Structures are given as structure tokens and as C-alpha cells.
Structure 1
Amino acid sequence: MEKQIELGKVITTKKKFRYWIGLLLGFGCLVNYFDRINLTVAGQVLMDELSISPAMFGILLSSFSWTYALMQIPMGVVLDRIGVKWLNRVCSIVWIFATGLTAFISGLLPLFILRLSLGVAEAPAFSAASKATGYWFPLKERGFATAMFDMSSKLSNVIGVPMVAFIIAKWGWREAFLVTALISIVYCVWFWMLYRDPEEHPRLSKEELDYIQSSDVQRQVAPGEGSGLVYLMKQRKLWALAIGAAAYNYSFFLFLTWLPNYLMRELHLDIMKSGLYTAIPWACGALSSILIGGLLVDFLIKRGFDPSKVRKLFLTIGMLLGLAVIGAATTKDTQTAIIYFSIAVSGICIASTINWSMPSILAPNGSVGTVGGFMNFIGNLTAIAAPIVTGFIVGATGSFSIAFVVAGVVMLIGILSITVFLGRIEKIPDEDKKVILD
């Protein structure tokens, strides 16, 4: 039983239906990443079958992020206008087709087109999860709620990489794409059946709705009345967080797109061992996300520590740990490299969890989608760059060492942005007075 005292009123809720919504959002992000990492795991097989060079494969890996980044702000605006329910319903159907049809391609051009389509369809996923979290969870539970969906993107590498590697080794890469498309269908049906906003959900009790709304949750405003993009782009703290996200995203997408290939190409592991070793850093990252970025941060805030200082401290610590990627440039030993990767990924996951709680904390009412879309757009510019730059470096030098050092330098820029320019983490004032809907 939970109790919260506000203005002399005791609000009690026995039910925790909101955690089913959190689980749904987490499963969506898990499936979302299954559809991204399937190409990564199949990389060496595809490169051999289609005669693709490392540089060209880097461009192919990056192609998803071209449309994914380009559509962040437009999708964020659409999200604020039509809501989480309908945008996620439509987009999940599109990404099912983009993934499933990949199993039937026979050339490079169709593969590019389908990856570009997947980027469009998955563009609003994290902004939508952040917006839904802002509706469904009070501020004091926001860290754990965010960790539920953010951790899932890392857990996808723990589960998905070995799973896809096994399917490829057993049956082939085409079957791997079909299986991930089938899992996406399961999510699409579940989301269609379960998700509604709190005010319209028939399975949410009045007591739990009162509890959710007793804190500083995001509230709906009339369509088009959220703060405008131009106004939001003038906020320094939004730029600081976006640049920080871009910095850790560079390493994140380097690992996401190239780590299995690095283990096979440079450390000479077979595809099954590569899949299993790849899962280790991501398992560490998933645990760090939920235990540190989620539970520990929420615990300290509930104990009375300043929320802004707590979030900023752990955001910085996470990015400092991300510098361990540089250590991987100094070794050719598999176990040592995995230790460095595990430290780096753990730090990145802590930072990512905290950063993805920010849109629902910072955004004026009705603008979570736009804020999340803007941050994710800037953050994903490096997601485009990392696979391409890494591919060209590996093609030119035959080694990943310089690529890891570059990732460390980019991380330092992000640390500077957070420590110097972020300031206090608090809600951005509304651009002007909004009419709040009951």
C-alpha cells in the first residue's frame, strides 16, 4: 500500500496497474532494439554473401539512424498532437513490415530502403515512452519508470544478440529477420489492447489515478498549445543535455553496430562466441541502468537529497565511466577488452537512463514529445556518424584501436557540456499560459 499526504489529504492506492504500462513500454523498447541489432549480428555473414566492404557496411549500419534522427523532431511534434496511443499503433505496424521484408531481399539497395523505413517507423519510440511515463508515473517514481524502458534497449543485446546469433548459425540470417518480425507482431497486438492514457483507461482505479496525479505529472493540453520548438531551442539546458546525449550515443552506437564484428574480426571469435561475449557488457549495462540510474537515484531523492544534484551527479559519473572505451584500444586480450567494454557500457546506460527521464521533467506541459524529439535528434547525429567513421577507420587501418580513442574524445566533449552548461535540472516554464484540459 502506498500513501502520499498532500494538503492534509491522504491518497491511498493498493493497485499498481501503472507498472503493467511500464512493462509494456519496456517490452516495446526491447522489441524495438531486436529489429535494430539483427543486422549487426548478421553483419559478417551479409558482408561475405553480398561482398560488402567494411566502409560500405558502416554506411549500411548507419542508414537506420539517418531517417531515425531526421524524423525525431517531426515525430515529436506529431506525438504531442495525436498522443502516444495512435502514433505507436501505426508505427509498430510499419516497422513489422520493414523488418519482415528484409528476409526476402537479394541486393544492397532494397536493404538500404528497408533500413531507412525502419528508422522512420521507430523514430518516436523513446519519446513516446518518455511521454507515457510522464503521464503514468509521479515524479518520485520517474527514475525507476524510465529505467524500465531504457534498460530494455540494453537488455535487447543480452537476449537478442545471442538469440539472433543462434538463429543465424542454425538456420540463416533471413530466418533471424523473420523471427524478430514475429516478436514485433506480439508487441503490436499487446500495445493495441492495453495502452490508453490514464484518464481514459477502464482498468485503472480512481484511487490509483488520484495517486498518479497527486504529484507533478505531465498533463494534457489542447492540441497545438504546447510550448513551441523555437522557444524550446532557446533553452541552454536543453542543448547541454542534447550534446551530452550525442556524446554517449557515439560510443553506444559504436558498440551496438560494431562490437560483434570487432570480436569476430579482431579477436577471432566465431559467431556464437561473439554473440555470447557481446551480451556481457550489455548485461552489466542493463543492471546498472535499473539499479543505479533508476532505483538508487529514486532512493536518494526520496531520502531528501536535492533531485537536480543527484541526477546531475550520476549523469556525470556515468559518462566518466564511459571513458573506459579508450582502454579497449590498448589490449588484444578478449577478457580484458570485455572488462573495459562492460565498464563503459555500464556508465553509458546510467547516463542514458537519467537523460531519458529529462523530457518528462524539463518539458512544459504538452511538450514532452517535442523536447524528447529534439534531444534525440541531436543525440542521434553521432549515431549516424559512429558506424560510418568506425567503418572507414577499420577499413583504412585494419584495427579498431583508433575508433575507440575517437569515442573517448567525443565522450569528453559531452562531459564538458554537462558540467559547464547544464545548470539546475528543473521544469522549463511554459512559453505562455496554456488552457489545461480536465
Structure 2
Amino acid sequence: MNAEAKTATTHPSPAATLGRGNRYRWGIGGLLAAGAFVNYIDRVNISIAATPLSESLHLSPGELGLLLSAYLWTYTVLQLPIGYLIDRIGVPWVMRIAVALWTVSSFVTAISGGLGLLLVSRLLLGIGEAPAWPASWKAMGYWFPARERGRCISLLDASSRASNVLGLPVMAYVVSVFGWQSAFVLTGVVSLAYTIAFWVIYRNPAEARRAAKLSAAEHEYILEGGAQQETSPSESPWSNVSYLLRRRKTWGLAIGYASYVYVYYLLLSWLPSYLEKSQGMSVLSSGIYSVVPWLVAVIAELAIAGWLMDHLIRRGFDPTKTRRAFLVLSMVGALGVAGTVTTHDIVAVMVYLSIGAAGLAVNAPTGQSIITLIAPRGSVASLGGIVNGAANLLGLTAPIVTGLVVEATGSFAGAFVIAGIVTAIGILSYVVVLGRIEQIPEPSQSLARPNRASTVL
């Protein structure tokens, strides 16, 4: 039996080890999950507002694609420096400033009267949201033992998808009744509430322990379970980034995760417009129908990535083989989005989209949990920044490419075929490049004992 499985067997569940009063970490997990929900509400609002907004401003599909992708420009460019910044000064202050920027961005969008200010507001949103996932992954690494990593990251990622389930119909109703600007006023208010909550509640475990919010028993449980230590990297952070960029595991995970992000951003940005154009739906109807694949995705993520994967590992299944199987099979499921090109029947379209969205939903937390498992000590945010940066560099092209394909062909078929090809490349990266899912040696250890399997040759 492997070491991780032995550890899981020794501690079969949190409930078996701790009393009811030792669940503070899950409150922090809930706070981070709420942030993911708000984070994606701030992204998805423009996909619902896209049609009335573009009609109001007379935007072509290509111009709309640029607007839909604008926040990703700053978001992607900042991933490497943000990972460095989080590893140096910590999660709390970076995220406190970031969530405040989400709020400002939403209100600026609401008062925009032209394409120029809209682009500025979306660029500002990208700056504010850039730290969200690297900081959340780092916080999860601090707050949760390895045996609970799959569940807590699934909670985080499922919350981002729940924003589609709850947000799309609400935003569709608000836009239909009050106009497209109202969607951004609503998300601005929600973002402001979360900003206040994060500033008041979030602390790292050591600080929470000193404030007597975290019990000694729960803190010990977290640390003994393999949580990341609250220490800075032993090497210069930029040296760590350079070191990580030369690791084969980094690129195996980054390319695979990038394929997920591309397809996900295609659906996130264009799904309502696709249903409006291909099925002749109204804004409200497209918002309601868009809920279906995202609801299936949330259920699949919580049941499969959130429970089944951790359950199998606790029962003694090899962690590397289990996680790799989940990575690959989930991406095979994601190929379902390409099936939409074979039919115009709305039921069949919903089935294909639901299979694809479920595959994406299972893949995301699996890949994210691997970041926290393979990162060297003190480098979770740096590795997360690299992986997320590379992924979003490809992902930001999805709204643009889709818009250009639709403008050139009058159809979404070519865009979904491209998504299928990108997914296949991701599967190959997970199978061929990633290798064993184990911690990348620290630079000093790598020099002492070179690990050829994890180095880009």
C-alpha cells in the first residue's frame, strides 16, 4: 500500500479524528468557495448581457469576441507576477485588494456608455481576478490535509460552476426586465458584500490559531495530514519560477489544464449566444437552457471529483493511477461538446453539452488538486500562476476564435470542432508528459539528486 493510502487509512475521515468543534477549516473552505462563486458571477454576467449590449453598441461578432475576452488579457499577463507576489507577501493582503477591485470593475461596467470604457472595466476585472485561483490553491494547501484536498478543491470549483446554475437565469431575468447595465449593478453589490466578508474573516492557520479561532487539535490534524507549511520558498521566488518552468511535470499539467480552460471559456462566453443563434431562443430562454449543462456539471463534480476520487484513494487505490485516470477520462467526456455539430435537435444538443460540461467539471478540481500536491515547499502559488497563466493564455483565444469563426461562417460548428482538437491535445499531455503525480523536488534537492523524469529535456 502506498504512503498516501496508508495515511488515509490511518485517518479514515475528519469525523473519526476530530470533534464537532474542530471544523474551522471548512468554514474557511466555504469562504473561498463563496469567492469562487462571486468571481465567476462577475465573469458570466457579460455573456448574458452580450446580445443586448452588442445591439446597443452596434458590435460585430468579432468585436464582441474581443470584449468577451478582454478581462483575460490582464488576467493572463499577471499570473506569473501574481504567483510570485502571493508567495512573498501571503494570501490575505493580496486577496483583500483583489476582491475590492472586482467591486469597482462591476460598477464601472454598469456606467459604461461605449466600447472604450467597457474594455477598461473588463481589463480592471482581469487585474482583480488574477490572484483568485493561485491564492485559493495556496490557501487550500495551508488549510487542508492531503486526504481532503480533492473534496475542498471540488467545493471551490463547483462553486464557480454554481454561478452558472444560479447566475445565468437570474442575470437573464434582470437583463430582460431592467436592461443590460442592471446585471453589473447587481454583481457589484454582491462583490461588495464579499469584499467585506473576506476582509473580516480570512486568516492563515497560524494567525487563526493565535487568535484562538482554530483549535490546537484541528491545527495539528491539518499539519500532520500533509498541509503546506506557512513558509516562504528557500530560494529566490524568481529562481523558483525559472526552476519550475524547466520541470516536465509543470508543462504536462499546464498543457492539459489549458485544454480544459479553452473549452470552458468557449462555453462560459458563448453558450447563451450559441443557443440564441442556433435555436432561435430569446435572451431569457437561452439563460434558462444554459443552466442545464452547468447543473449536470456541478452534480458530476461533487459526486465524482469531490467524493469518489478521495474515496478510492482512501480505500488504497494508487493515487497516481487514480488521479491520472480521472484526468484522462474526464477530458474524454469533455469531447462531448464537439458532438453539437452533428445535430440541431435541442434535446441532443443539451445531452452533448451536458456530457462535455460534466467532463470539464471533473477535470478541473483534479488538475487543481495536483498543483497543491506536486509543488515544492512554499511554491504552490508560483506553480499555480504558471499553470493558470499558460492555461489562460490559450483560454483567452477561445472567445476571440469563436467570434471570428461565427463571423466568417455564420455557424458555431467550426468553433466546436476546434474545441475537440484542443481537448485531444490535452489528453495526450496528461498521458505522455505529466508522469507520476508526486512532489517536484526543491531546487537544492534536484541539484543533489537530479530527477530526469520531472525535467524538460
TM-score (norm 1): 0.95
Instruction: Show the 5 A alignment for 1:14-93.
Output: 14=20, 15-93=22-100
| Aligned residue identity for 1:323 | L
1:207 aligned to 2:226?
no
Q: Aligned partners of 1:248 and 1:11: how far apart in 2?
A: 36
Q: Counterpart in 2 of 1:220?
A: 230
Q: Is the 8 A contact 1:288 1:350 kept in 2?
A: yes
Matches within 5 A, 1:229-268: 229-268=241-280
Shift of 1:52: 0.2
- Contact kept, 8 Å, 1:4 with 1:211, in 2: the verdict is no
Residues 252-311 of structure 1: per-residue CA shift (max 9 Å, x gap): 000000000011112111111101110111111111111111211100011011111111
| Deviation sequence 1:66-121 (CA, Å, 0-9, x none) | 11111111101001011111111001111110111111111001100110110011
Give 1:149-298 correspondences, 5 Å limit.
Answer: 149-201=156-208, 202=211, 203-222=213-232, 225=235, 228-298=240-310
Distance 1:328 1:119 in 2: 30
Structure 1 counterpart SS, 2:279: coil
Task: Output aligned runs, 1:377-388, within 5 Å.
Answer: 377-388=389-400
- Does the 8 A contact of 2:87 with 2:232 survive in 1? no
Q: Does 1:99 align with 2:111?
A: no
* Residue 147 of structure 2 is aligned to residue 140 of structure 1: yes
How many residue pairs are counted as aligned between the two chains?
430
- 2:402 is the alignment partner of 1:402: no
Residue identity (%): 42
**Residues 37 and 161 in structure 1, CA contact (< 8 A), matched pair in contact too:** yes
The equivalent position to 1:424 in structure 2, one of 436, 441, 452, is: 436
Q: Is the 8 A contact 1:155 1:286 kept in 2?
A: yes
By percentage of residues, which structure has more helix? 2
Q: Find the aligned partners of 1:256 and 1:11 in 2 and give their Cα distance.
A: 40
Partner secondary structure for residue 42 of structure 1: helix
Look up the equivalent residue of 2:134 and give its one-letter code.
Answer: S
Paired residue for 1:357?
369
| Contact 2:233/2:377, CA 8 A, preserved across alignment | no
Give the conservation status (yes or no) of the 8 Å contact 1:41–1:164: yes
When structure 1 is superposed on structure 2, of 283-292 and 131-140 the one drifting more is 283-292
Letter in 2 for 1:403: A
- Matched-pair contact (CA < 8 Å) for 1:13–1:211: no
Distance 2:162 2:10 in 1: 33
Contact kept? 1:81, 1:224, Cα under 8 Å: no
- Higher deviation after alignment, 358-367 or 340-349: 358-367
Question: What is the rounded CA distance, in whole Å, between the counterparts of 1:197 and 1:387 in structure 2?
Answer: 36
**Which residues of 2 match residues 270-349 of structure 1 at below 5 A?**
270-349=282-361
Supply the AA of the counterpart residue of 1:145. Answer: C
| Residues 197, 3 of structure 1: alpha-carbon distance in 2 compared, 3 angstrom cutoff | farther
CA contact (8 A) 1:11 1:207 kept: no
User: Which 4+ stretches in 1 moved above 6 angstroms?
Assistant: none
Matches for 1:6-21 after TM superposition, within 5 Å: 12-14=18-20, 15-21=22-28
Structure 2 spans left out of the alignment, 5+ residues: 1-7, 446-457
- Residue 133 of structure 1 aligns with an amino acid whose one-letter code is M
Q: Secondary structure at the match of 2:344?
A: coil
Q: String of CA shifts for 1:42-85, please: whole Å, max 9, x gaps.
A: 00001110000001100111111111111111101001011111
